[in-house]
Amino acid sequence: MDHQFERRRQDETESMRHGVPADLAALVRLEEVGDLHFEASAFSTSLDYYQRILASAALNQLEVSHILEICRKSIDAALNLGDLALAERLLHDADGFIATVENLDPADERLLIAPLLGRHAALYTQRGAYKDALQICKRAFAVLAVTDDHVEVANLQVTMGVCHHRLGRLDKAEEFYTDALATFRRISDELGMASLYNNLALVHKNACRWDKAMEYQNRSIALASEHGASHLLARLHLNEGIILRKAESPGEARAAFEKSLRLAVSLGDMDRQAKASLALGQLELIEGHLLRAEELILTGKHISDEAGFMRESIIADEYMGDLLLERGESEKALYNYGLGLEKTKRINTLTDLEGELLRRCAEASLQASDWLQAAEFARAAITVCQSCGEDYELGFCYLALAEALANLGEDDQADDHFRGAIKIFNSQRLPRLASRAILASLDFSLERGGRSQLLRLRRSLHDALEGAQSRADDLLYCRLQAGLAEVLLRLGDLDEALLTASEFERAAENVDDPDLLSRHGDLRIRIEKALVGAWPSIEMKVPVAPVISLKNGSITEDTLATFLDSCMSRASADMGFVVLEPWAAPVGGGARIVTRGLSRPVAHQAAFWFTETRVDEVPTPRLLTRTDLAQDVLEEVPGLASNCNSCLFLPVAVPDKCYGVLCLGSRTRDEDDGLALKPVLDHMAAAAGYLAMSLAEEERNRPVAVSWDESDRHEAFSQIITRNAEMREMLVLIRKVAASELTVLLQGETGTGKGLLAHAIHRLSERRDRKFLAINCAAIPESLLESELFGHVKGSFTGAIADKTGLLAEAAGGTVFLDEIGKLPLGMQGKLLHFIDTHTVRPVGSNRSRVVDVRIVCATKSDLKEKVGCGTYLEDLYYRLLDFPVVVPPLRDRQDDIPLLATHFIARYVALTRIETPGCTSSFMEALAQHDWPGNVRELVKSINRAIVLAHGEPMLRISHLPPEVTRSLPDGDGARAISPLRETIGAVEAREIMRTLEHTGGNKAEASRLLGISYPNLLKKVRVYGLDNS
């Protein structure tokens, strides 16, 4: 291959030296070189070679059909470059050449013209003349459909599909795309298939079926990447970005757009450069980067206008209008939208672009307070979008019309359209847009909506807040919380409103948006004034104060004291206490108690009595009068009865967990007791509930071993130490998949804890009470692996002196963990695939199979997809294992976990060896944090154990106790301080040599002691001291 390429390169050089070729052989060589450049997506260079052939004096030596083939390739190169003017000129030249051919049979002439008609249609399509393009395609198809030129037929089907797609006829477009895909598949044209997968993805995108769209797009990109089709990848990544942007994944969309732009620039593809620049410009505009957005949009507009790209020119006008609208220049925005609408008229039919532009005109009119014009534009936009099947735009159109109608006083119609917009966005699985539509309807509903509307809005706000997408956007989450509090205030649900306002204030601390606080800063005050107005019999002794205020998610005793004082002042109580149980405290903490008016022991006794006498899992509030105190509590807590005449006990609890007790007491006579008032009871219950929510939030953020509920805390994740967000998300996934029967594939580097996670999956599954077997596929010799997994019968091979049950059958009803699944021999892969598919086991040498019910969990550090590509791993098995892949992050991506893990492993080693717990210098912890940890957690454990051994007798672990491979990555200054004392160096050498010898002897300590020349007891002592037992 290299020799052929070198010969062609020499031919190319020779041809360029001599200019236009003069003989047939030179023409053939030039065409071959041009074809090579065409296949490599170097369209400009290939076009140059084809043009030189067509300008050659020796051209008449070629057959007419051959000359036209070169013409078609030239036109295709020009179309791929987006040079529509050149493509049109080349088509004109080709048409003229056919007209000069003498004695041409009419039937042959039609066969020569038809492929050129297909390219005329492609040119018309790029210029937006879709109906004209369809008419031309029909003429060409009538001729080519009866021939065996399958590629040309498929290309015509693609062009017709694109035209119908642009005209909003999605069903018709999908029909043509599917037919073309079948044709390309039949002739094994994988690049044609890739192009069609892309087109089908866009059909699903228009219908807002995001998952299906991405599935097709990923298949398209995979095929194009396999063939290195750069010209196609530029288009595919562009459309990938469009799908991702509309599916509310802007970060991934940006990466796809940038890939497309880089490829387009490198290929000289003006069409894709224009499209990608415009797409990136719109993304910058959405994210508020107006100057960068303007630069990109103007670049795309300039390219589009120069090259005659009608559709892109319209999109540029649209985006410039959006930019002006964002700057508050509604009149200029309307002018730009008008320019785009004028250009759409040249297409002579309704298109998705016309619907988009009309909707934007409605939004610009809203900004200009021209409500009538806004309503007219919005209604026209709805009509166009419904005609074109542009579902994505309909939600925006309904929202614009709703706002216009609300301002015109047409309340019922406005409410209907607000609800329509929310319903459309929810059906399209666009939670952020649905949330924004809810917020847009909020002011209208609060001002003019009745109770039914407010109740419906409350439900919508609750649904929006439950969505994961809204929480990913802190500002949106805060606005939704504030909106919910406003609705609850209007409905008179004051306690719930107060809790929601508190959650809003907590979340708002992380959001830098002055407008947010200016709009909702007085929310709590308005709710508290409503609460005071509802309790005329309560005399407030102190100004209204926050119920509780959290800073950095921490609840201290000072915080609890402020909370208790506030509650006592609101209820006119004379005594009170808050007791939080030990499980509500940080690691190592005990119960937290704050009291007023009575001693801590009495408070603790009372809290114990209240929680122990509960009937339900979480106790219910309880108001005790003087009589109740004498009868129920006197014996258990005599100190309480002597301090008050009545008291109110409230659990500090969430639905499934009690954190402690709040108690308020009064010394007044029962008839004057404010604690008995229902508003007081309700408010104190709400306050206790908010404290419980805050404790739950503190618990979620606490860096402890993950424990998802009480019944699982000793079973599943107790050995997994993390505070890392990515790890927490992964553990949530594992918890969900554990309850299913899916095959799980754990993918991650060595030492990341895949074995622990596999065991956690088993402990969280319904099979937790059955056997869990871990099998290392790399540790069992290939000759024995089948027998070990499937078993064997007596006499099946030499040495099979008895029947043996395989490990899979032995674990029946339980879980089998296949570690290092990537190292499974090729011969065994098919047998494992058969077992996973059928769950049947046939022992070696037996002709009987049996069904075995067992869950499979696999792990690998290898790239299985790469192994599939190399032919060392079965593709079917690879995809079968991908039921539920879980990627375990390496330790270098969990920097926030390193101090936590180090502390845990120090404590564990100290507990095993019963030595005094050493401290850690700051430089020691910094060195751990800066290391990449290629061996992950396993390497960290070894480094910690080694450091403790070397620091024996010293109070602190220092940087010099760490292995050289850890300190080597530090800056020079740290490295200089890492020089170890002689005793430590000798210890490290001893440990290394003992480890090496034990590996050499396969763990035989007696043989190792002989080789090392030390006694066996001495070796055992050193193994224990250096922490080599587990290594």
- DSSP notation for 146-208: TSS-HHHHHHHHHHHHHHHHHTT-HHHHHHHHHHHHHHHHHTT-HHHHHHHHHHHHHHHHHTT
Q: Which of residues 390 and 413 earns the better pLDDT score? A: 413
The answer, yes or no, to whether residue 934 has pLDDT greater than 70, is: yes
Residue 491 CB partners (closer than 8 Å, separation 6+): 451, 454, 455, 458
Which amino acid, 415?
A: D
Which class for 590: exposed (0-12), middle (13-18), buried (19 or more C-beta within 10 A)? exposed
Handedness of CA 768, 773, 774, 778 (dihedral sign): negative
Q: Look at residue 705 in the predicted model and tell me its pLDDT.
A: 37
State the Cα torsion 278-281-283-285 to the nearest 10°: -130
Q: What is the CA radius of gyration of the chain?
A: 37
Collapsed DSSP state (helix, strand, coil) of residue 1005: helix
Q: Look at residue 1002 in the predicted model and tell me its pLDDT.
A: 79
| 552 belongs to a structural domain | no
Q: How confident is the model at residue 710 (pLDDT cuts 50, 70, 90)?
A: very low
Contacts made by residues 507-512, CB under 8 angstroms, sequence distance 24+: 507/474, 507/477, 507/478, 507/481, 508/478, 510/474, 511/474, 511/475, 511/478
Instruction: Please name every residue paired with 886 in a beta bridge, in sequence order, or none if there are none.
Output: 746
**968-980 burial, b if ≥16 CB within 10 A, otherwise e?**
eebeeeeeeebeb
Pairing of strands 592-596, 575-580: antiparallel
d(Cα 750, Cα 757) in Å, to the nearest integer? 13
- pLDDT > 70: percent of the chain: 82
Handedness of CA 296, 302, 307, 311 (dihedral sign): positive
Q: Look at residue 542 in the predicted model and tell me its pLDDT.
A: 32
Instruction: Please name every residue paired with 772 in a beta bridge, in sequence order, or none if there are none.
Output: 815
Q: Do 877 and 914 have their domain in common?
A: no
The continuous run of DSSP H or E covering 850 comes out as strand 850-851
State the CATH number of the domain containing residue 626.
3.30.450.40
The answer, yes or no, to whether residue 455 has pLDDT greater than 70, is: yes
Q: Do 4 and 66 have their domain in common?
A: yes
Q: Which of residues 675 and 1012 earns the better pLDDT score? A: 1012
The two tokens of residue 37 are 């450049």
Mean pLDDT in residue range 324-345: 89
Give per-residue pLDDT as tens, 135-187: 999 999 998 888 888 888 889 999 999 888 877 787 888 899 998 888 888 88
Q: Look at residue 795 in the predicted model and tell me its pLDDT.
A: 74
The answer, yes or no, to whether residue 545 has pLDDT greater than 50, is: no
d(Cα 709, Cα 718) in Å, to the nearest integer? 11
Residue 986 CB partners (closer than 8 Å, separation 6+): none
Q: Look at residue 529 in the predicted model and tell me its pLDDT.
A: 67
Pair 286, 244: CB distance under 8 Å: no
Q: How confident is the model at residue 755 (pLDDT cuts 50, 70, 90)?
A: confident
Final residue of a domain: which of 104, 125, 142?
Answer: 104
| 59 belongs to a structural domain | yes
Backbone angles phi, psi at 1004, to 5 degrees: -75, 105
Mean pLDDT in residue range 520-549: 52
Q: Look at residue 13 in the predicted model and tell me its pLDDT.
A: 46
Q: Look at residue 358 in the predicted model and tell me its pLDDT.
A: 92
| 739 belongs to a structural domain | yes
Q: Do 355 and 483 have their domain in common?
A: yes
Number of independent structural domains in the chain:
5
Q: How confident is the model at residue 1010 (pLDDT cuts 50, 70, 90)?
A: confident
The answer, yes or no, to whether residue 528 has pLDDT greater than 80, is: no
The answer, yes or no, to whether residue 227 has pLDDT greater than 80, is: yes
Q: Look at residue 678 in the predicted model and tell me its pLDDT.
A: 58
Kindly list the distances between the CA atom of residue 288 and the CA atoms of 243, 284, 326, 422, 506, in Å, as whole numbers in the listed order.
Answer: 20, 6, 9, 24, 26
Which of 142-151, 710-719, 955-964 holds the top average pLDDT?
A: 142-151
d(Cα 9, Cα 632) in Å, to the nearest integer? 101
Final residue of a domain: which of 701, 718, 750?
Answer: 701
Handedness of CA 517, 518, 523, 528 (dihedral sign): positive
Q: How confident is the model at residue 398 (pLDDT cuts 50, 70, 90)?
A: very high
Q: How confident is the model at residue 472 (pLDDT cuts 50, 70, 90)?
A: low
Which residue's structure tokens are 């924004």?
A: 436
Q: Look at residue 675 in the predicted model and tell me its pLDDT.
A: 55
State the CATH number of the domain containing residue 12.
1.25.40.10
Of 628, 611, 633, the closest CA to residue 620 belongs to 611
Mean pLDDT in residue range 325-330: 90
Q: Look at residue 971 in the predicted model and tell me its pLDDT.
A: 59
Pair 607, 660: CB distance under 8 Å: yes
Instruction: Please name every residue paired with 819 in a beta bridge, in sequence order, or none if there are none.
Output: 776
d(Cα 407, Cα 769) in Å, to the nearest integer? 64
Q: Do 925 and 872 have their domain in common?
A: no
The answer, yes or no, to whether residue 87 has pLDDT greater than 80, is: yes
Residue 335 CB partners (closer than 8 Å, separation 6+): 321
Mean pLDDT in residue range 829-834: 87
Of 251, 243, 190, the closest CA to residue 215 belongs to 243
Backbone angles phi, psi at 885, to 5 degrees: -75, 140
Q: Which of residues 608 and 108 earns the better pLDDT score? A: 108
Q: Is the pTM of this model over 0.85?
A: no
> Angle at CA 132, nearest 5°, toward 130 and 133?
60
Give per-residue pLDDT as tens, 199-216: 899 888 877 788 888 999
How many other CB atoms are there within 10 angstroms of residue 277's CB atom?
27
Kindly list the distances between the CA atom of residue 130 and the CA atoms of 230, 581, 601, 910, in Å, as whole numbers in the listed order.
Answer: 27, 73, 86, 77
The answer, yes or no, to whether residue 957 has pLDDT greater than 60, is: yes
Which class for 548: exposed (0-12), middle (13-18), buried (19 or more C-beta within 10 A)? buried
d(Cα 745, Cα 887) in Å, to the nearest integer? 8
| 692 belongs to a structural domain | yes
| 313 belongs to a structural domain | no
The two tokens of residue 551 are 């800073």
Collapsed DSSP state (helix, strand, coil) of residue 954: coil
Q: Look at residue 953 in the predicted model and tell me its pLDDT.
A: 66
d(Cα 619, Cα 621) in Å, to the nearest integer? 7
Kindly list the distances between the CA atom of residue 697 and the CA atoms of 552, 563, 686, 692, 974, in Å, as whole numbers in the listed order.
Answer: 11, 17, 16, 9, 39
- Count of positions (residues) in the chain: 1031
Q: Look at residue 777 in the predicted model and tell me its pLDDT.
A: 84
Q: How confident is the model at residue 379 (pLDDT cuts 50, 70, 90)?
A: very high
Instruction: Please name every residue paired with 885 in a beta bridge, in sequence order, or none if there are none.
Output: 745
The answer, yes or no, to whether residue 115 has pLDDT greater than 50, is: yes
Mean pLDDT in residue range 964-981: 58
| 299 belongs to a structural domain | no
Which amino acid, 19?
A: G
Lowest mean pLDDT among 229-233, 468-472, 999-1003: 468-472
Mean pLDDT in residue range 496-516: 76
Average pLDDT taken over every residue of the chain: 79
Mean pLDDT in residue range 360-373: 92
Residue 625 CB partners (closer than 8 Å, separation 6+): 645, 646, 670
Q: Do 874 and 897 have their domain in common?
A: no
Q: Look at residue 650 in the predicted model and tell me its pLDDT.
A: 85
State the CATH number of the domain containing residue 832.
3.40.50.300
Q: Do 624 and 746 have their domain in common?
A: no
- pLDDT > 90: percent of the chain: 14
State the Cα torsion 752-754-755-757 to the nearest 10°: 110
| 125 belongs to a structural domain | no
Q: Do 688 and 777 have their domain in common?
A: no
Give per-residue pLDDT as tens, 280-293: 999 999 888 989 99
Which of 424-438, 499-513, 678-692, 776-790 holds the top average pLDDT?
A: 424-438
Which residue's structure tokens are 């309880």?
A: 622
| 400 belongs to a structural domain | yes
Residue 799 CB partners (closer than 8 Å, separation 6+): none
Which amino acid, 826?
A: L
Q: Which of residues 705 and 207 earns the better pLDDT score? A: 207
The answer, yes or no, to whether residue 485 has pLDDT greater than 80, is: yes
Mean pLDDT in residue range 247-265: 88
Q: Do 818 and 764 have their domain in common?
A: yes
Mean pLDDT in residue range 456-481: 74
Pair 814, 852: CB distance under 8 Å: no
Q: Look at residue 784 in the predicted model and tell me its pLDDT.
A: 74
The two tokens of residue 94 are 């080709």
- Full residue range of the structural domain in which residue 915 is found: 893-1025
Backbone angles phi, psi at 254, to 5 degrees: -60, -45
Q: Do 649 and 635 have their domain in common?
A: yes
Q: Look at residue 232 in the predicted model and tell me its pLDDT.
A: 85
The answer, yes or no, to whether residue 922 has pLDDT greater than 80, is: no
Collapsed DSSP state (helix, strand, coil) of residue 660: strand
Residue 104 CB partners (closer than 8 Å, separation 6+): 64, 98, 112
Mean pLDDT in residue range 979-998: 69
Q: How confident is the model at residue 693 (pLDDT cuts 50, 70, 90)?
A: confident
Q: Which of residues 227 and 745 earns the better pLDDT score? A: 745
Of 218, 187, 226, the closest CA to residue 200 belongs to 218
Final residue of a domain: which of 678, 701, 724?
Answer: 701
Kindly list the distances between the CA atom of residue 7 and the CA atoms of 27, 386, 626, in Å, as whole numbers in the listed order.
Answer: 15, 59, 107
d(Cα 437, Cα 440) in Å, to the nearest integer? 5
Helix H, strand E, coil C: the string for 921-953 is CHHHHHHHHHCCCCCHHHHHHHHHHHHHHHCCC
Helix H, strand E, coil C: the string for 702-737 is CCCECCCCHHHCCCCCCCCECCCHHHHHHHHHHHHH
Q: Do 885 and 897 have their domain in common?
A: no
The answer, yes or no, to whether residue 881 has pLDDT greater than 70, is: yes
Q: Do 865 and 913 have their domain in common?
A: no
Q: Look at residue 740 in the predicted model and tell me its pLDDT.
A: 83
* Largest distance between two CA atoms of the chain: 123
Q: Please report the DSSP string for 301-327 in residue order.
A: HHHHHHHT-HHHHHHHHHHHHHHHHHT
Q: CB-side exposure of 832: number of CA atoms within 13 Å? A: 32
Of 310, 360, 356, the closest CA to residue 335 belongs to 360
Q: Do 754 and 779 have their domain in common?
A: yes
Q: Look at residue 298 in the predicted model and tell me its pLDDT.
A: 93
